[in-house]
Amino acid sequence: MASVLNLTADRRQLKGRGAGSNASGRFERERRLLLDDGWHAQGEDPAPQLKTQILRDTSRSIITRNTSPDISFDRSINPYRGCEHGCIYCFARPSHAYLGLSPGVDFESRILVKPEAAQLLRMELSAPGYVPRVIAIGTNTDPYQPLERNLKIMRQVLEVLYEFRNPVAIVTKSALVLRDLDLLGAMARLGLVKVALSITTQEPSLARSLEPRAATPARRFEALKGLSAEGIPTGVMFAPVIPALNDSELENILGAAANAGARTAGYVLLRLPLEVKDLFREWLDLHAPARAGHVLALIRAMRSGKDYDASWHDRMTGSGPYARMIAQRFHLAARRLGLNQKPVVLECGRFRRPPHQGEQLSLL
């Protein structure tokens, strides 16, 4: 029989977090539930907020490869596992279950970091059999999440990529990306980098509940401007599209991004794999109870009657009349705003292996 653990007796501890619970991952035997035991009377001092724990990731490699037919890259780097941004809709949440942690609060408060990421990357890029291709960063968890401000793991990874002249495509929802303008600008001049800002809404209150520790929408548009002014190819990702919640903002967000200098645009329909579906339902009941039923009904209408359909290609854009309407709106707006340009093709031909210490330099 599954046991029930009292995760916390006071939901106030979760202030500033996206998830409202910390249920066990799908591989665990016990089941944890958030309970109020009644000891925290109204008017008492609030319980201390949950603090982020940093855990060391001891992975021996840093480049992850995939063969998915519906994404544009075959390799990626994730400097962090888990993400302090706390986006309730994050499709990466279920990956925390592989670590024996919860895809709920654990995902955003127990972060595994890879302090040796740059050294591992240098070793992999130096391997004789390595073939240079574009490396994607930020496709799983955000490389510019708050911890990066002090740890600077992403900064170190970029330095290695620049040294080897290996191209990189970055996706983030953080204005912290502007910290690395010097590196990104130098790489852009060699055709080695492009950056996309993920923007979900322009409504501050909605953004704060959906993505509690991510940069405000205004700061993300400022980041687009700053990157574009430095000559860095930029794009906007309107993601995720949540029916009856933020889909009405599609055209306005694309327009604001174009004004900020974005050259391309993309979108992804809300994905609710595994534990994410229950976490998102919980979020709806807490933050948008009047619309919860309508939102879920439209999601199922775009997912063949299910909460989620993992079929290749359809998982990104959905199917059915409502999904086709969103796709049509997106393509019309992108064409009108000039955001339907061909994606920038990054330069792989500049790749080089810097000489090791003591190694004889080439004469040519």
Evaluate whether residue 133 is within a structural domain: yes
Orientation of helix 181-188 relative to helix 153-164, angle to 10°: 20
Per-residue pLDDT averaged across 205-226, rounded? 97
Q: Per mean pLDDT, which range of 46-50, 96-100, 287-291 is the poorest? A: 46-50
Give me the residues paired with residue 194 across strands.
Answer: 169
Evaluate whether residue 81 is within a structural domain: yes
pLDDT confidence band for 9 (50 / 70 / 90): very low
Q: Which is more confidently placed, 187 or 28?
A: 187
Complete DSSP assignment for 256-267: HHHHTT--EEEE
Quote the CA–CA distance of 104 and 106 in Å, as a whole number: 5
pLDDT digits (tens, 9 = 90+) for 221-273: 999 999 999 999 999 999 999 999 999 999 999 999 999 999 999 999 999 99
Evaluate whether residue 353 is within a structural domain: no
Helix (H) or strand (E) holding 330: helix 321-337
Does the pTM exceed 0.75? yes
Residue 41 has pLDDT above 80, yes or no: no
The pLDDT, as a whole number, for residue 40 is 56
Evaluate whether residue 160 is within a structural domain: yes
Q: Are 294 and 247 in contact (CB under 8 A)?
A: no
The span from the first CA to the last CA of the chain, in angstroms, equals 71
Note down the domain range covering 122: 4-37+53-337
Evaluate whether residue 274 is within a structural domain: yes
Per-residue pLDDT averaged across 57-61, rounded? 93
The pLDDT, as a whole number, for residue 3 is 33
Evaluate whether residue 356 is within a structural domain: no
For residue 187, what is the domain's CATH number?
Answer: 3.20.20.70
Q: Which residues, at least 6 apart from 69, have a Cβ–Cβ distance to it below 8 Å?
A: 312, 313
pLDDT confidence band for 6 (50 / 70 / 90): very low
Closest of 362, 353, 361 to residue 121, by C-alpha: 353
Evaluate whether residue 361 is within a structural domain: no
Q: SS3 sequence, 204-248?
A: HHHHHHHCCCCCCHHHHHHHHHHHHHCCCCEEEEEEEECCCCCHH
124: phi then psi, degrees, rounded to nearest 5: -70, -40
- Look at the chain and report how many structural domains it folds into: 1
Quote the CA–CA distance of 286 and 267 in Å, as a whole number: 26
Count of alpha carbons within 13 angstroms of residue 129, beta-carbon side: 0
Residue 353 has pLDDT above 70, yes or no: yes
Quote the CA–CA distance of 298 and 281 in Å, as a whole number: 13
Q: Percent of the chain beyond pLDDT 90?
A: 81
The pLDDT, as a whole number, for residue 260 is 98
Evaluate whether residue 301 is within a structural domain: yes
